[in-house]
């Protein structure tokens, strides 16, 4: 038995879904532990491309139980659409389960997210506008609706009597948005109850209990360490905990259940939305990385910002992510590069101070510039290589340097989007 968490080690889109898919093969239970449909996860297998937002990619394997945990926020219509798309592609969803404790993203959450983003003149976050922040806000404020409420009309009615007056006041007075009647929300909830009905796992305690012994559990994170609400580039973050620790609160299992935490890093860095990004390349090299790496958002289609690998955030990610090994993806994107840079420290342009560890106050990041070391490229197509020994020498040197920086082993090297384009190291 081995229980593993997959954590994004950068600002998301590191290729977590590809790694989750690989590990799901040998797992019995796959649990998505946080986030919502802000995530966009792509798996390429058997010449087909599958896109996920909420559903664990483990669903592609027959017989695996896929559980969407209590730490997630679920938009009912997006969930329904995703399930239907999978069914249309011939994927069996009978083993898909949702925690009754997961939070529901309501229409007003999306309206508030959109309003906040569209009207911000300063401090725009660049969210996915999927209502994620407002849903988690209501959860923390004890004003949220959980999936279990949908099946208990009396409790729902009592809850709405408490929530709605304040919610409507806020919608109208703060945001200038339309209020909701209790009848309207009740009708929506009846619809949502039907959407979730085949999947709600009321005996989730039994599921977790029975999986405790002898089963391999895989915990699937969304986003990445640098978007973590506690440890990321706050406030330019998402509203949940993608770090390894989030797997516990989001799944219902305690830390004693976790054996390994695999971080996923790209060979460079990308970010979508606003916020500091010290190694960002706003030049031809950045465009080259974006074009070769197809760096456009799965969820919003936005071009991803691109930059050189940042060892400062990598070391930080290893620490706060609780990582035990790293999967390095998209290294093939550098196949045509003469030189590859790695940022090993930050320099404060005001006083020359060098930062080797991550400075958490992001408001001073505008004064930071990257300190680079340069590595020679390998100028070879590595996408067909399947053994570590067969990688070009310069590529192995680059990987060895990253491993030295991480101070944890690189366990997986990914050389292309396909399931097969993978090198298991050690
Ligand atoms: P996630 O959100 O972390 O799951 O990552 P995304 O799916 O949003 O983005 C990663 C993209 O890179 C997807 O389109 C993957 O198919 C693709 N991908 C994953 N690994 C590799 C790789 O090693 N090389 C290349 N070229 N593409 C990859
Ligand atoms: P996956 O799981 C990349 C970013 C948004 C924005 C910030 C807050 O595919 O790696 P939110 O809508 O969550 O309130 O937006 O977080 N963001 C992501 N960036 N990959 C993701 O998910 C992301 N999910 C949210 O762009 O900057
Ligand atoms: Mg993604």
Q: Domain containing 111 — which CATH number? A: 1.10.300.10
User: What confidence score (pLDDT) does residue 1 get?
Assistant: 62
Mean pLDDT along residues 121-140: 95
Mean pLDDT along residues 283-290: 97
For 211, other C-beta atoms within 10 Å of its C-beta total 20
Regarding whether 76 and 24 lie in a shared domain, the answer is: yes
Residue 53 annotated in active site: no
Asked whether 272 lines ligand 2 (CB < 6 A), one says yes
Mean pLDDT along residues 299-304: 84
Instruction: Tell me how far the alpha carbon of residue 333 lies from the centroid of ligand 1, in angstroms.
Output: 11
Regarding whether 95 and 16 lie in a shared domain, the answer is: yes
Domain, as residue range, for 287 = 266-424
Q: Which residue, of 262, 279, 313, is where some domain finishes?
A: 262
Closest ligand to the CA of 17: 1
Regarding whether 402 and 271 lie in a shared domain, the answer is: yes
pLDDT class of 302 with cuts at 50, 70, 90? confident
122, pLDDT greater than 90? no
User: What confidence score (pLDDT) does residue 123 get?
Assistant: 82
Asked whether 340 lines ligand 2 (CB < 6 A), one says no
271, pLDDT greater than 90? yes
160, pLDDT greater than 70? yes
Asked whether 20 lines ligand 1 (CB < 6 A), one says no
Regarding whether 160 and 48 lie in a shared domain, the answer is: no
177, pLDDT greater than 80? yes
Regarding whether 86 and 11 lie in a shared domain, the answer is: yes
Global pTM? 0.97
Mean pLDDT along residues 190-211: 97
Distance CA 52, CA 37 (A): 9
Give residues whose Cβ lies within 5 Å of ion ligand 3: 13, 40, 298
Instruction: Tell me how far the alpha carbon of residue 262 lies from the centroid of ligand 2, in angstroms.
Output: 20
Mean of all residue pLDDT scores within the chain:
96
For residue range 383-419, list pLDDT tens digits in order.
999 999 999 999 999 999 999 999 999 999 999 999 9
Regarding whether 316 and 258 lie in a shared domain, the answer is: no
Regarding whether 418 and 272 lie in a shared domain, the answer is: yes
Residue 228 annotated in active site: no
Regarding whether 369 and 313 lie in a shared domain, the answer is: yes
Regarding whether 366 and 251 lie in a shared domain, the answer is: no
Q: Which residue, of 146, 170, 196, is where some domain finishes?
A: 196
Distance CA 100, CA 200 (A): 6
Closest ligand to the CA of 300: 2
Asked whether 41 lines ligand 2 (CB < 6 A), one says yes
User: What confidence score (pLDDT) does residue 281 get?
Assistant: 98
Q: What is the CATH number of the domain that holds 234?
A: 3.40.440.10
- CB contact burial 4-38 (16+ within 10 A = b; e otherwise): bbbbbbbbbbbbbbbbbbbbbeebbbbbbbbbbbb
For residue range 324-342, list pLDDT tens digits in order.
999 999 999 999 999 999 9
User: What confidence score (pLDDT) does residue 213 get?
Assistant: 84
Regarding whether 158 and 34 lie in a shared domain, the answer is: no
Identify the residue whose C-alpha is closest to ligand 1 atom 6.
13
Q: What is the CATH number of the domain that holds 284?
A: 3.90.170.10
Mean pLDDT along residues 68-77: 98
Asked whether 9 lines ligand 2 (CB < 6 A), one says no
User: What confidence score (pLDDT) does residue 301 get?
Assistant: 82
For residue range 39-63, list pLDDT tens digits in order.
999 999 989 999 999 999 999 999 9
- Count of structural domains within the chain: 3
Atom of ligand 1 nearest to the CA of 422: 23
Atom of ligand 2 nearest to the CA of 300: 26
Q: Which residue, of 155, 175, 196, is where some domain finishes?
A: 196
Regarding whether 278 and 257 lie in a shared domain, the answer is: no
Pairing mode, if any, of strands 339-348 and 354-355? antiparallel
For residue range 78-100, list pLDDT tens digits in order.
999 999 999 999 999 999 999 99
Instruction: Tell me how far the alpha carbon of residue 13 lies from the centroid of ligand 1, in angstroms.
Output: 7
Regarding whether 411 and 318 lie in a shared domain, the answer is: yes
Mean pLDDT along residues 149-164: 97
User: What confidence score (pLDDT) does residue 82 get?
Assistant: 97
310, pLDDT greater than 70? yes
User: What confidence score (pLDDT) does residue 279 get?
Assistant: 98
């Amino acid at each position: 038995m081995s229980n593993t968490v997959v954590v994004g080690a950068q600002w998301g889109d590191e290729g977590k879904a590809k790694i989750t898919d690989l590990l799901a093969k040998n797992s019995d239970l796959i649990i998505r532990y946080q986030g919502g449909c802000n995530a966009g996860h792509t798996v390429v297998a058997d010449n087909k491309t599958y896109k996920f937002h909420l559903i664990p990619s483990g669903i592609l394997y027959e017989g695996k139980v896929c559980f969407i945990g209590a730490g997630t926020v679920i938009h009912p219509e997006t969930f329904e659409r995703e399930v239907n798309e999978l069914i249309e592609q011939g994927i069996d969803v009978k083993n898909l389960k949702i925690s009754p404790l997961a939070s529901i993203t309501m229409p007003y959450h999306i309206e508030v997210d959109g309003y906040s983003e569209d009207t911000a003149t300063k401090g725009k976050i660049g969210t996915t506008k999927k209502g994620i922040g407002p849903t988690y806000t209501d959860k923390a404020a004890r004003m949220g609706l959980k999936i279990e409420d949908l099946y208990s009309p009396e409790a729902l009615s009592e809850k709405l009597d408490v929530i709605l007056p304040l919610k409507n006041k806020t919608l109208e007075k703060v945001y200038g948005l339309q209020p909701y009647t209790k009848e309207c929300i009740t009708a929506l909830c009846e619809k949502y109850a039907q959407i979730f009905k085949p999947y709600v796992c009321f005996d989730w305690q039994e599921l977790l209990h029975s999986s405790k012994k002898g089963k391999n559990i895989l915990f699937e994170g969304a986003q990445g360490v640098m978007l973590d609400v506690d440890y990321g580039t706050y406030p330019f973050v998402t509203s949940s905990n993608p770090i390894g620790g989030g797997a516990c609160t989001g799944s219902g299992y305690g830390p004693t259940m976790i054996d390994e935490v695999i971080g996923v890093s790209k060979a460079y860095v990308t970010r979508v939305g606003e916020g500091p990004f010290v190694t960002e390349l706003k030049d031809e090299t950045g465009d080259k990385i974006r074009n070769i790496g197809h760096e456009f958002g799965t969820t919003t289609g936005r071009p991803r910002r691109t930059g050189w690998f940042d060892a400062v955030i990598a070391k930080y990610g290893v620490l706060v992510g609780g990582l035990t090994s790293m999967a390095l993806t998209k290294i093939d994107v550098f196949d045509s590069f003469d030189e590859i840079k790695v940022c090993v420290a930050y320099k404060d342009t005001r006083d020359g101070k060098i930062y080797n560890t991550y400075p958490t106050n992001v408001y001073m990041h505008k004064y930071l510039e990257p300190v680079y070391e340069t590595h020679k490229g390998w100028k070879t197509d590595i996408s067909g290589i399947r053994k570590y020994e067969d990688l070009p020498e310069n590529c192995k040197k680059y990987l060895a340097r990253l491993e030295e920086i991480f101070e944890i082993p690189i366990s997986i090297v990914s050389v292309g989007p396909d399931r097969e384009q993978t090198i298991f190291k050690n």
